[in-house]
Structure 1
Amino acid sequence: MKVTVPGSKSITNRALLLAAAADGRSTLHAPLVSDDTVAFRDALTGLGTTITAGPGDATWEVTGTGRGPAGGHRVRCADAGTAARFLPPFAATGTGSYAFDGSDRLRARPLRPLTDALRALGARITTAPGGGLPLTVDAAGLDGGELTLDGSLSSQYLSGLLLAAPLLRTPLTLRTAGLVSRPYLDLTLALMRHFGVPAETGPDGALTVRPGRYRATDLHIEPDASTASYFFAAAAVTGSRITVPGLGRHSLQGDLRFVTALRRTGAAVEIGEHATTVTGTGPLRGGFALDMGDISDTFMTLAAIAPLADAPLTLHGIGHARLKESDRIDAVAGNLRALGITVETGPDRITVHPGTPRPATVACHRDHRIAMAFSVLALRAPGITLDDPGCVSKTFPGFHTALRRCFPAHAAHAPAV
């Protein structure tokens, strides 16, 4: 069966900012329409960017000015981490006073490496204790320079600075220590090239971006690979066959590598030119450890179905996942234990043992990925319910309906919504 997965959140929000910073009119085709992307779009509109939605939100037409914003604004980031990490650098390249804030959970997520970097470039920033939200940027443009950035908590700090870099007065050279989620940085660089500004990579790996202008252009948003992971995993555990069109071997998204993890569990995987297919072939194989640091948004998908494997699974390199919408390691572990599954955790790892899940209510922690991952397990484990099924609207409002449609033989076990 083919499933239509909505557009990539990571691509949509990066493309929105690039189009806003470009000189002219860009059209984004098949953007993701979800809580996070609408929050990002609305924030850009408040910053003075004109964004017009086509019929059914099938397209977003973005008219950029080729420069940073002007005049000042209060910016509500809601739960969107990309808004909190990408928009302050963009605002700092303009003029005026910009006050950023978000939900309680977003306030708790770290921002200090980014705010420290912006101060080093001459930005005037006032933050909450700890360096995070709420924060105010009193913008008067930014100079470039050379910086070394701590990337061990999130790659989004580096991406936020790079996206704004062409609008700086002088070149910006960035080095990073302990970078996590490298594929997301590669995605940023690829999209910058698409909008006409490449970064130069030095022999030591430093990235340099020179002042310039983004070029207005059109972009078709490919399906979200992180969201596709739930359907691929569901195929693996139900013995079904699922194809996601639009995600092929040339995908910009590192999270498509999740299917190689499923291949290790025994699923059949085909990555074609324009689509990827996963077929469940029988019981899941376990008994191995896997570094999921570069694709940490999908570790929950594998961890949630790991009780169905024939031996323990250890997923490591995921310490930074403790700083996402929830402490994702503890959230997954706590829910699996509530289901009667033996779990061990460490600072950056989780080990899940085989077992038969018992009925229980999953605590979603307002985290869309917790809800979606355990919905996959529920296809094989009757009696699982979610305390907040609606939190999936952060990235895929129609998730539960799509899951039932794709796996009708197991739909009776899917969590009630």
Structure 2
Amino acid sequence: MTTDRLTIRPTTEPLIGRVSPPGSKSITNRALLLAGLAKGTSRLTGALKSDDTRYMADALRAMGVTVDEPDATTFVVTSSGQLKAPAEPLFLGNAGTATRFLTAAVALGKGRYVVDGDQHMRKRPILPLVEALKSLGVAVEAPTGCPPVTIDATGSFASNRVVIDAGLSSQYVSALLMAAACASDPFEIELAGSDIGARGYIDLTLAAMRAFGAKVEQPSPSVWRIEPTGYTASDFHIEPDASAATYLWGAEVLTGGAIDIGTPADAFTQPDAKAYAVISAFPHMPAVIDGSQMQDAVPTIAVLAAFNEVPVRFVGIANLRVKECDRIRALSTGLNTIREGLATEEGDDLLIASDPTLAGQHLAAEIDTFADHRIAMSFALAGLKIGGISILDPGCVAKTYPDYWDAMGSLGVGFEKG
């Protein structure tokens, strides 16, 4: 998508058809890393090919791992089991999973590793993970509390136990879990406090680790014990992306359509699949929605909430402020661009003044996506019912769903470029 603006043509017909969402970004980046840490050759099928996974694959290549791509949904990863110190800093764009996961993984390498990203990634906090690694005797520095992170690794941890504050992101726990299986001794991870980002993503991490031979026990909700098994090369199939599916579920209920995505909602293991129950209740979604365990689905549901029968308050979404952008602010800004007063921020809650009569109106609005793929894809749904909705920087969807606009077009959605 080379245009800097895409205006959605409202549809008066139900959207009907079949669209297969791409592979899960969350699972693809976990599997790529684990395959890179395993000695031998792993074949990852059903994988996502997007900006985020390309950054991970390129970083592994820079550290001596062979990553082949025989087709559009497959990675073949061959590794010695060691991530060698790269000649240059690892540039990871705005890929949070790649940045957090690699920061922990390279701490058990040998030599200097610099983990960096784009201007947006340099605003995303990583200090809790850095502090946890320091407590393990790792020489690691992140002067701003965000990337770039410099790690001078010696190949081991000085301790076999760490306490991590995961209030901002569950990715800190996932990063340590995946690295811990490569330690020299049994390892224990404990949460500092009970707060954690979407806990379901920890389950994704554990499932992927076990598929590559790791042994993990969880004696309590806040403690994990990991055996020093390392990883075994494996063939691994990646399920479709549940976060991507939310846009298709949203388009279906907004237009009264029937979109077959090829995977039943209850077959997903990703936490964002919980959004299906909320979305399927449209236009009678509840007045209060807790987004804490389906964070990436909140933008989709928030745009749907503009057309709901009753106003909606989103709670448990404070972590959205430190995603690819401040998503609470981006959502309120975009909705208020459509109609002033449509959204209100109260602390970290987001209130939507729902109005079903928005459908069918022409309300010219340029939606600033803040270079955030989820803001672009979710606000495209508003354009299905309201005339004049233009998405700025539509190409940012390449981060996780490069074919999004083609997928919508295949269902009959029309666009005007430029």
Give 2:405's aligned amino acid: H
Deviations 1:228-250 (A, max 9, x none): 10000000000001121145534
Aligned match for 2:408, one of 383, 403, 407:
403
Deviations 1:238-297 (A, max 9, x none): 0001121145534221111110111332xxxxxxxxxxxxxxxxxx12452111101010
Greater shift, 364-373 or 336-345, is seen at 336-345
* 8 Å CA contact retained: 1:173, 1:207: yes
- Per the alignment, residue 61 of structure 1 pairs with 76
Partner Cα separation in structure 2 for residue 10 and residue 302 of structure 1: 20
Measured after TM superposition, the shift of residue 123 of structure 1 is: 0.8
- Per the alignment, residue 317 of structure 2 pairs with 318
Greater shift, 110-119 or 354-363, is seen at 354-363
Q: Give the number of the structure with larger relative contact order, counting CA–CA contacts within 8 Å between residues 6 or more apart.
A: 2
- Per the alignment, residue 281 of structure 1 pairs with none
Following superposition, which runs of at least 4 residues in structure 1 exceed 6 angstroms of deviation? none
Aligned match for 1:45, one of 61, 65, 68:
61
Matches within 5 A, 1:13-412: 13-55=29-71, 57-70=72-85, 73-129=88-144, 131-143=145-157, 144-176=159-191, 177=193, 178-203=195-220, 205-265=222-282, 284-286=283-285, 288-340=287-339, 341-355=341-355, 356=358, 358-406=363-411, 408=412, 411-412=413-414
Measured after TM superposition, the shift of residue 348 of structure 1 is: 2.6
Question: Relative to 1, partners in 2 of residues 1:204 and 1:10: Cα closer, same or farther, differing over 3 Å?
Answer: closer
Greater shift, 38-47 or 167-176, is seen at 167-176
* 8 Å CA contact retained: 1:180, 1:293: yes
* 8 Å CA contact retained: 2:41, 2:77: yes
Deviations 1:372-411 (A, max 9, x none): 00001111111100111111111111111111212x2xx2
Question: Relative to 1, partners in 2 of residues 1:375 and 1:71: Cα closer, same or farther, differing over 3 Å?
Answer: closer
SS of the residue aligned with 1:142?
coil
Give 2:239's aligned amino acid: E
Greater shift, 292-301 or 196-205, is seen at 196-205
Question: Relative to 1, partners in 2 of residues 1:336 and 1:240: Cα closer, same or farther, differing over 3 Å?
Answer: same
Superposition TM-score, scaled by structure 2 size: 0.90
Partner Cα separation in structure 2 for residue 36 and residue 71 of structure 1: 19
Question: Relative to 1, partners in 2 of residues 1:362 and 1:85: Cα closer, same or farther, differing over 3 Å?
Answer: same
SS of the residue aligned with 1:393?
helix
* 8 Å CA contact retained: 1:72, 1:97: no
Partner Cα separation in structure 1 for residue 271 and residue 247 of structure 2: 15
Give 1:350's aligned amino acid: L
Deviations 1:115-164 (A, max 9, x none): 011111111112223x2211211111222422221111000011011111
Measured after TM superposition, the shift of residue 28 of structure 1 is: 0.6
SS of the residue aligned with 2:54?
helix
Paired-residue identity, %: 36
Q: Alignment length, in residue pairs?
A: 393
* 8 Å CA contact retained: 1:92, 1:141: yes
SS of the residue aligned with 2:197?
coil
Partner Cα separation in structure 2 for residue 415 and residue 211 of structure 1: 55
- State the superposition RMSD in angstroms: 1.6
- Per the alignment, residue 5 of structure 1 pairs with 21
SS of the residue aligned with 1:52?
strand
